[in-house]
Amino acid sequence: MIYPLPAALISCGSNPDEHNIITVSWVGTICSDPPMCYISVRPSRHSYEIIKRAGEYVINLTTEALARATDWCGVRSGRDYNKFAEMGLTVGKASVVGAPLIEESPVCIECRVKEIMRLGSHDMFISEVVNVKADDQYLDPATGRFDMQKAGLLAYSHGHYYGLGKRIGKFGWSVQRKKKKKK
């Protein structure tokens, strides 16, 4: 019941013949120093062996504009389809890893697998973040921060996709001192 979750497109494959995309919602940050994250994938999935063999993948954040591709890539197998071609997604060259990235994604997080933890229905790929590519159009020129609301990121909850909605506050806002008015 820990919801909502990101709906991420995970791209993988060391060469164009095996490039694939899998939709994953079991994804998240597990450490900030060093930057590390995880994805959990069922061993029966086509992408599982590709990621396990290559030891690399890219987490591509999704948007409302990518909602159809996100869903489609989650219900179709890369054994039967070239998902990049079927969804009209652009294969991009990652900076550090051999796996492709999805050019239409506003944020692409390049990952290198450090450990695979067998959990039950899914195995968790514990990974080091080796590079992050963010689309400049979503970066605030003054702060350099990524604007999630402007990007229209997608979330997943109980079988449904949602936009993130409006920002309510920032970390620490509940205890922030009010500025005194000048007289």
The residue-averaged pLDDT of 111-130 equals 98
pLDDT, position 183: 66
Q: What is the DSSP string of 61-115?
A: E-BGGGHHHHHHHHHS-TTT--HHHHHTPPEEE-SSSSSEEETT-SEEEEEEEEE
pLDDT, position 93: 97
Which domains are assigned to the chain? 5-175 (2.30.110.10)
Task: Give φ, ψ of 72 to 5 degrees.
Answer: -60, -45
Q: Per-residue pLDDT tens for 44-69?
A: 999 999 999 999 999 999 999 999 99
Q: Per-residue pLDDT tens for 66-75?
A: 999 999 999 9
Rounded CA separation 131/137 (Å): 19
pTM for the predicted model, two decimal places: 0.91
Task: Give φ, ψ of 74 to 5 degrees.
Answer: -85, -20
Looking at the predicted structure, is the pLDDT value of residue 166 above 80? no
C-beta of residue 65 within 8 angstroms of C-beta of residue 137: no
Work out the number of other CB atoms within 10 angstroms of the CB of residue 78.
Answer: 20
pLDDT, position 78: 93
Looking at the predicted structure, is the pLDDT value of residue 116 above 90? yes
Rounded CA separation 113/51 (Å): 8
Q: Per-residue pLDDT tens for 12-46?
A: 999 999 999 999 999 999 999 999 999 999 999 99
Looking at the predicted structure, is the pLDDT value of residue 130 above 80? yes
pLDDT, position 179: 76
Q: How far apart are the first and last CA of the chain?
A: 50
Q: Please, what is the Cα angle at 32 between 30 and 36, to 5 degrees?
A: 50
Per-residue pLDDT band for 177 (boundaries 50, 70, 90) equals: confident
